[in-house]
Amino acid sequence: MNAVLGVGGGIAAYKAAELARALEERGFTVQVVMTRAAQEFVRPLTFAALTNRKVITGLFAGEGSSSDDTLSSAVEHIRVAQENQVLVVAPATADLLAKFAHGIADDFLTTLYLAFTGKVVLAPAMNTAMWEHPATRQNLATLAARGHTIVDPDAGLLACGTVGPGRLAEAVRVAEVVALVARGRHDLDGETVLITAGPTQEPLDPVRFISNRSSGKMG
């Protein structure tokens, strides 16, 4: 299974290296795409060493890093979109969420998103106020309505000193979600499920039935 790992330009970008390793441990071949801002936090060499693949840093020659561990104009976004089954973006910054929601394609990652027809998993990370802003909530709703999977951030102490939701979800959790999405696990799709907190009775015949004991405390 092939996956693109898009790395956004947030302070949590360094955690994407752990995610790349976690995805490979679950059998994915990972192609990393870094935004220009992401390269201010982590060097492409880190991801190249982890995945044994050159990192995509821009649409055109001269964009991003100029090291031998990166690719730019030599790679077409259409081909990358066709060769991969899952697009994972972590951290998905408020800026990236807005661009995805409104179809703005101004770098390799956002252009790739518009050309991508596979499954999309977004793991947001940002300041609590930005996470709770109505614009961000609306963008998330738009993306969820398209069928994308959102891995909500964890709550805790953020880099800015704020305590609240906004921390990038742990790499293992994101990787597990990606694995489930990639396998298409929708075992209960189309099924009608009844949930009860009390005793139930299922008839065997007009006289007998099967029941379960209930204390009445759960309901």
Query: How confident is the model over 34-56, as pLDDT tens digits?
Result: 999 999 999 999 999 999 999 99
Mean pLDDT of the 89-106 span = 97
End-to-end C-alpha distance for the chain, whole angstroms: 44
**Which comes out higher in pLDDT, residue 85 or 165?**
85
| pLDDT band (50, 70, 90) for residue 152 | very high
- Tell me: pLDDT of 110 over 70: yes
Strand partners, 202: 210
User: pTM for the complete prediction?
Assistant: 0.78
Domains of the chain: 2-183 (3.40.50.1950)
Residue 98 CB neighbours (<10 A): 15
- Tell me: pLDDT of 216 over 80: no
Mean pLDDT of the 155-182 span = 84
pLDDT exceeding 70 applies to what percent of the chain? Answer: 80
**Which comes out higher in pLDDT, residue 21 or 130?**
21
- Tell me: pLDDT of 139 over 60: yes
List the catalytic residue out of 160, 163, 172, 180: 160
| pLDDT band (50, 70, 90) for residue 63 | low
Q: What is the mean pLDDT of the chain?
A: 86
Q: What sign for the dihedral angle of Cα 95, 121, 14, 46? A: negative
**Active-site annotation holds for 160:** yes
Question: Residue 6's pLDDT is what?
Answer: 97
| pLDDT band (50, 70, 90) for residue 60 | confident
Mean pLDDT of the 151-156 span = 85
Q: Which of 62-76, 113-127, 199-213 has the lowest mean pLDDT?
A: 62-76
Query: Mind listing the pLDDT tens digit for each residue in 170-188?
Result: 999 999 999 999 988 555 5
Question: Residue 190's pLDDT is what?
Answer: 53
